[in-house]
Amino acid sequence: MTRVKRGVTAHRRHKKILKLVTGHHGVKTSHFRSANEAMLHALSYAYRDRRAKKGEFHRLWITRINAAVRPLGMSYSKFMAALKTSAVALDRKMLAEMAVNDAAGFAQLVKSVQGGTSAQPA
């Protein structure tokens, strides 16, 4: 059986890893072993935080909606319950967007839901 030398393959693999860690500091950009470890950590953090970002935005939307309905005489939980009973199909992202950019429309929505009348989604 012929001898297989793996120098080219290993060099190509090392170059691929070192290319992924450009921008890191210190030996993490030049030494393969440190670079490989840094790359593995970075990729796992990126995977984790892509999912964590969704929860952070959800919490932000809830905070914005709560801050907008409090001056109008409702709490967040009562407002969301009233939306559900009124069959208003707006998600938290859209409600938070309305609360920030269209305060008058949001106040009108809160008023219509507060009165118990069924508001149709726009």
pLDDT in tens, 51-66: 999 999 999 999 999 9
**Mean pLDDT, range 98-109, rounded to an integer:** 95
Tokens encoding 14: 């090392």
Q: What is the pLDDT of residue 120?
A: 52
The CATH classification of domain 7-114, taken from the options 1.10.1900.20, 2.130.10.10, 1.10.540.10, 2.160.10.10: 1.10.1900.20
* Cβ atoms 16, 9 nearer than 8 A: no
Phi, psi of 120 (to 5 degrees): -85, 135
Residue 103 has pLDDT above 80, yes or no: yes
pLDDT at res. 116: 65
> Cα 115 to chain center, whole Å?
34
CA–CA distance, 70 with 68 (Å, rounded to integer)? 6
Rg, C-alpha atoms of the chain: 26
* pTM of the model as a whole: 0.76
